[in-house]
Amino acid sequence: MVREEPHPAMDPVREILEMHERDLGELLQVLIEVQHALHCVPDEAVALISDHLRVTRGHIRGVIGFYSFLSDTYLGEYVVYISDNITDRMLGSDGLAIYLCNRLGVTLGKTRADGRASVHFTSCTGMCDQGPAALVNGLPLTRLTRVRMDEIAKLINARTPVDQWPAEYFRVEDNFRRSDVMFRRTPEPGAALKAAMRRGGDETLKDIQYEEAVDPSSGHAWRRGADETLKELYRSDLRGRGGAGFKAAIKWETCRDISAPERYVVCNADEGEPGTFKDRVLLTSYTDMVFEGMTLCGYVVGSSRGILYIRQEYWYLRPHLEAVLARRRDSALLGRNILGTGFAFDIDIHWGAGAYICGMESALIESLEGRRGKPRKRWPLPVVAGLNNRPTVVNNVETFAAAAMIALKGGAWFAGHGTTHSSGTKLFCVSGDCDRPGIYEYPFGVSVREVLRDCGGLEAQAVQISGPSGTTITRLEFDRILAFEDLSTVGTFMVFGPTRDMFDVVRNFTHFFRHESCGLCTPCRVGTSLLASLVDKVAAGKGSPMDVEQVQKISQIMKTTAHCGLGQTAPNHLLDSLVKFRGDWDKRMVTTEFVPAFDLDAALGEARALTGRDDALAHL
Amino acid sequence: MSPDIRKTFHLDGVEIPFREGQTVFDAAMAAGIYIPHLCHNPDFEPHSSCRLCTVIVNGRPFASCTQPAVAGQDVKSDTPELNDMRRSLTEMLLVEGNHYCPACEKSGNCRLQATAYALGVQYNHYPQFFPHRDVDASHPEIILDRDRCILCGLCVRISRRVDRKNVFAMTGRGITTTIVIDSPSGLLVDSRVSRDDEAVQHCPVGALMMKGEAFKVPIGERRYDTSPISEDSVAKFQAREVRLHG
């Protein structure tokens, strides 16, 4: 093996590597830290990481290429990512991006010649209720304006370190506008765990010996508590809050009952669906509830290891999350001897690096294992063979918080709220054209109209439920209800006022899916690109009815043949729009005849660039 | 239940026997029924990425190359709707890369070309992407032309599982996904690849080829010039069945 010469610029990489075990599962975490330290992952770093983790350079380059926040080229001292969600755009983010580029003298996506800065677009940063938003060197900027962009450009040009910028720039609000039974009062840390353990019949929880406790046949109160808690979870009928609505109790029981030397509890905080930000608020202000729900899951299924997989857009929460974990360890709510029972469970934080697909549970597990976030084959399910091929419970942040409350207050209490098939309450992330954007908690079964009334958005012409992969609702449908029986949702609720052009929404969503398709399967990889080009063609006034037919056909192919939910749901918004907002398409159609997609003049652009010509004669 | 009674499922109304653990794809091919496919090579583990082998199992679509056969299930494969989708998926692959069949050394031995013929692809309904992709001709014996790659991942899987060299990997995401080489320079010549590697023998298209061998067999006498891919695939699969299971 050829040894690399020591490279002084690589000292930070060596320091980072010293902090990590020689395990492939550490790869993404190492790459993220290197990216933060050097603002790129150069070839020299790849070589060092390859040596340390004993993984090929090819694999490392493959991982760098997959995640949006990793780069093999230098991005500059200041790296700005402008949130490109439709709600940010409606607040003027695209104009602000161009404005900042002009102030800094950079081209979008290119690093300034002096290496000072670069400006990029990124998918939704989860600040939709306080946009336009951006990230600078990993930290969130909210409520951006032209004035703020002027100030930011000045700070960058003066090389003022980001930690010396005014704190106001980085202020993130919870905007918790309505709470119901679940998030009214936060329970004491540990209360839910104690309640769960006491369900076994031992009120005191004293004198429990670990050896006794872990033997399920002993029927000891401590073990019985876990079984009783699972029964409460069944009674609650809690369904996964990530959108799919799978019953949590079935997942937990399946995981518990598979014989395996180890099993895992994973909290999915990837929250990549544009317009979604409830997990950010839960991990900010209900952090204990989430960690307690995970610990409870470990107790019920017999796992000692929990992992919080969180999107990098929330990197600023790192000190807070670490502090809460440390406090819980100090109060025996995590660690080797939880509440003196001998139950051992701890939680690690694992960061994502900018990939919507990693919200899909099997892709998330691939990412945890240090690979490209590519969804796995349908079978086996992660609950049977997930992380490291062990049984793995993957639940949403909100699901774990709900599980903690169920342990505390009982399944019947929980099932007493909501509807027949959607028990409990749900958090809704309201953004867009309304007076009071933010987080709203309602029992399942609330109507779209009621949410609109409360947030001051009754004027809306449309609401996008559950993000770009969800459903577009028009005024005629505002009495539909938010529940698994009708509109199932991760909680995203984007409001579009009466003057919005709904075609702009379609275009934004179409581009989002092209950017986020993982590239594994043909229909999604090529289909999302074809759809984006077709929509762009219509936007350019060159659309024809044949293009609309093509959109419908490609959509159908994707829905039927795509490998995973991303590709299967990516065309939903287009099909909705073609039925419900056809006028916004038709007004762009200048002809009823076919217009070719091939643009001869545009195709000559490369030749013009090569010859340095742009005069009239160089055009058609 | 007597072990003599073989389990079966229905494929387009025909009763298909299967062994425990067999996929829908394997059982169908063993029974002589061709299901179009590109990313799958029965000698290696399935990948279910090209999606051509999608079938409808009890009313729901699944990739047959990874879907376990279950007794009594109703499978539909040779339907106008599915064949139309397969044709479109093939067209998608044809426009995504730069495929110039008349000038390609692989013509006649190319599974993409042969599958397009089998499905009746007449022309591309989609605009060409004309991507800019790197050609790696650095190696004295092997050439990697990314223009013709359909991202089936066979070279990646075989190099990892069979050759145990991990020469190939995927990088990029979505439409920018490409093959990357494990070597300091990122070039094949600096990698551990060799002409004897299984990974370089099974490329279904003209992306990974041996230098100096392109025209040893003249066009017109090549594999799919002499028999259609449907017959060739089934015959090959059945010979393999006999070899492995008697």
CA neighbor of A52 nearest in space, from A75, A29, A81, A84: A29
Return all residues near A124 (Cβ < 8 A) that are at least 6 apart: A83, A84, A85, A87, A88, A272, A273, A274, A275, A276
Calculate mean pLDDT across residues A446-463. Answer: 98
> Amino acid identity, residue A431?
S
The pairing of beta strand A425-432 with beta strand A438-443: antiparallel
Q: How far is B155 from A443, CA to CA, in rounded Å? A: 52
Tell me, yes or no, whether B88 and B114 share the same domain: yes
Tell me, yes or no, whether B65 and B145 share the same domain: no
Return all residues near B241 (Cβ < 8 A) that are at least 6 apart: B30
**Residue A55, in any domain of the structure:** yes
CA of residue A375 relative to chain centroid, distance: 15
Tell me, yes or no, whether A363 and A436 share the same domain: no
Q: CA torsion angle for A252, A256, A260, A263 (degrees, to 10)?
A: 40
Which of A148, A165, A182 is a domain's end point?
A165
Beta strands in A131-193 (DSSP E): 134-136, 139-141, 176-178
From residue A585, alpha-carbon distances to A73, A266, A459, A501, A539 in Å are 40, 43, 22, 10, 8
CATH code, A550 = 1.20.1440.230
Tell me, yes or no, whether B203 and B165 share the same domain: yes
Report chain A's terminal Cα–Cα distance, integer Å: 57
CA neighbor of B203 nearest in space, from B167, B235, B241, B174: B167
Question: Cα distance from A557 to chain B (closest Cα, Å)?
Answer: 6
Which residues on A lie below 8 Å from B151 (Cβ)?
519, 525
Which residues on B lie below 8 Å from A59 (Cβ)?
166, 169, 182
- Would you say how long chain B is, in residues? 246
Banded model confidence at residue A209, pLDDT cuts 50, 70, 90: very low
Tell me, yes or no, whether B35 and B137 share the same domain: no
Tell me, yes or no, whether B118 and B173 share the same domain: no
CATH code, B175 = 3.30.70.20
Tell me, yes or no, whether A223 and A365 share the same domain: yes
Tell me, yes or no, whether A42 and A127 share the same domain: no
Return all residues near A116 (Cβ < 8 A) that are at least 6 apart: A76, A77, A78, A104, A156, A157, A159
User: Does the structure show a pLDDT above 60 at A5?
Assistant: no
Give the residue carrying structure tokens 């028990």. Answer: A423
> Amino acid identity, residue A452?
L
Q: How far is B42 from B74, CA to CA, in rounded Å? A: 23
Q: How far is A248 from A322, CA to CA, in rounded Å? A: 27
Contact B88/A554, CB-based, under 8 Å? yes
CATH code, A99 = 3.40.30.10
Tell me, yes or no, whether A204 and A351 share the same domain: yes
Q: Is the bond leading into A6 cis (omega within 30 degrees of zero)?
A: no
Q: Which residues of B187-220 are buried (b: 16+ CB within 10 A; e: fewer)?
A: ebeebebeeebbbbebbbbbbbbeeeeeeeeeee
Tell me, yes or no, whether A116 and A243 share the same domain: no
Low-confidence ranges of chain B (pLDDT < 70): 1-5
Tell me, yes or no, whether B190 and B117 share the same domain: no
pLDDT in tens, A580-605: 999 999 999 877 677 777 888 888 88
Q: How far is A437 from A132, CA to CA, in rounded Å? A: 13
DSSP state of B105: T
CATH code, B41 = 3.10.20.740
Tell me, yes or no, whether B174 and B118 share the same domain: no
pLDDT in tens, A136-163: 999 999 999 999 999 999 999 999 999 9
Which residues on B lie below 8 Å from A533 (Cβ)?
127
Tell me, yes or no, whether B29 and B107 share the same domain: yes
CA neighbor of A63 nearest in space, from A374, A314, A311, A361: A374
Give pLDDT, residue A590: 76
Residue A247 forms contact with B (CB below 8 Å): no
Q: How far is A580 from A583, CA to CA, in rounded Å? A: 8
CA of residue A469 relative to chain centroid, distance: 13
A190: tokens are: 């540990």
- Which range (A489-498, A603-612, B46-55) has the least confidence? A603-612
Tell me, yes or no, whether A92 and A136 share the same domain: yes
Tell me, yes or no, whether B183 and B231 share the same domain: no
A345: tokens are: 């469970």
Which of A496, A528, A555 is a domain's end point?
A496
Tell me, yes or no, whether B2 and B34 share the same domain: yes
Alpha carbons within 13 A on the beta-carbon side of B8:
12
Q: For the beta carbon of residue B32, count every other beta carbon within 10 angstroms.
A: 13
Residue of A54, A552, A561 best to disrupt the B interface, most CBs of B under 10 A: A561
Tell me, yes or no, whether A328 and A199 share the same domain: yes
Chain B residue at shortest CA distance from A44: B184
Q: For the beta carbon of residue B150, count every other beta carbon within 10 angstroms.
A: 24
Into how many domains does chain A fold? Answer: 5
Banded model confidence at residue A75, pLDDT cuts 50, 70, 90: very high
Q: For the beta carbon of residue A483, count every other beta carbon within 10 angstroms.
A: 23
User: Does the structure show a pLDDT above 50 at A210?
Assistant: no
Give pLDDT, residue B242: 92
Residue of A44, A56, A558, A568 best to disrupt the B interface, most CBs of B under 10 A: A56
Element (H, E) at A408: helix A397-409
Element (H, E) at A235: helix A221-236
A160: tokens are: 């003022």
Chain B residue at shortest CA distance from A517: B174
Question: Cα distance from A66 to chain B (closest Cα, Å)?
Answer: 5
> Amino acid identity, residue A542?
K
Query: How do the residues of chain A divide into helix, strand and coil, expressed in percent and rounded to 5?
Result: 50, 15, 40
Element (H, E) at B7: strand B7-11
Tell me, yes or no, whether A553 and A434 share the same domain: no
Tell me, yes or no, whether A219 and A337 share the same domain: yes
**CB neighbour class for A1 (10 Å; exposed up to 12, middle 13-18, buried from 19):** exposed
B77: tokens are: 């494969």
Which residues on A lie below 8 Å from B129 (Cβ)?
529
Give pLDDT, residue B5: 58
**Residue B92, in any domain of the structure:** yes
pLDDT in tens, A535-550: 999 999 999 999 999 9
Banded model confidence at residue A243, pLDDT cuts 50, 70, 90: confident
Into how many domains does chain B fold? Answer: 2
Contact B89/A372, CB-based, under 8 Å? no
Calculate mean pLDDT across residues A166-189. Answer: 95
Which residues on A lie below 8 Å from B173 (Cβ)?
65-68, 355, 372, 516-519
Give pLDDT, residue A202: 61
CA neighbor of A402 nearest in space, from A190, A178, A192, A224: A192
Banded model confidence at residue A2, pLDDT cuts 50, 70, 90: very low
Q: How far is B76 from A565, CA to CA, in rounded Å? A: 22
Calculate mean pLDDT across residues A315-321. Answer: 98
Tell me, yes or no, whether A511 and A443 share the same domain: no
Q: Which of B167, B168, B174 sits opposite A514 (nearest CB)?
A: B174
**Which residues of A, range 354-393, sit inside 8 Å of B by Cβ?**
355, 372, 377-379
A592: tokens are: 């009823």
User: Does the structure show a pLDDT above 80 at A362?
Assistant: yes
**Residue A354, in any domain of the structure:** yes
Give pLDDT, residue B246: 76
Give pLDDT, residue A222: 72
Which residues on A lie below 8 Å from B67 (Cβ)?
378
**Angle of the A11-18 helix axis to the A43-53 helix axis, nearest 10:** 20
**Residue B124, in any domain of the structure:** yes
User: Does the structure show a pLDDT above 90 at A52?
Assistant: yes
Please give the share of chain A, as a percent, with pLDDT higher than 70. Answer: 95
ipTM above 0.85, yes or no: yes
**Which residues of B, range 140-199, sit inside 8 Å of A by Cβ?**
151, 166-177, 180-184, 186
- Which range (A23-32, A211-220, A431-440) has the least confidence? A211-220
Give pLDDT, residue A203: 54
**Residue B220, in any domain of the structure:** no
CA of residue A5 relative to chain centroid, distance: 39
Q: How many residue contacts between A and B have a Cβ separation below 8 Å? A: 129
Tell me, yes or no, whether B139 and B123 share the same domain: no
**Residue B208, in any domain of the structure:** yes
> Amino acid identity, residue B206?
G
**Residue B141, in any domain of the structure:** yes
Q: Longest Cα pair distance anywhere in chain B, in angstroms?
A: 60
Tell me, yes or no, whether B85 and B51 share the same domain: yes
pLDDT in tens, B31-60: 999 999 999 999 999 999 999 999 999 999
Tell me, yes or no, whether A479 and A439 share the same domain: yes
Domain that holds residue A161: 78-165
Check: CB of residue B144 under 8 Å from CB of residue B111.
Answer: no
Which of A496, A515, A538 is a domain's end point?
A496
User: Does the structure show a pLDDT above 60 at A211?
Assistant: no
Phi/psi zone of residue A254: left (φ > 0), alpha (ψ -120 to 50 degrees), beta? alpha
- Would you say how long chain A is, in residues? 620
Q: Which residues of A426-453 are buried (b: 16+ CB within 10 A; e: fewer)?
A: bbbbbbbbbeebbbbbbbbbbbbbbbbe
Residue B5 forms contact with A (CB below 8 Å): no
Neighbour order of strands in the sheet with A471-474 = A176-178, A438-443, A425-432, A492-496, A462-465, A471-474
**Residue B59, in any domain of the structure:** yes
Domain that holds residue B207: 131-214
Tell me, yes or no, whether A436 and A411 share the same domain: no
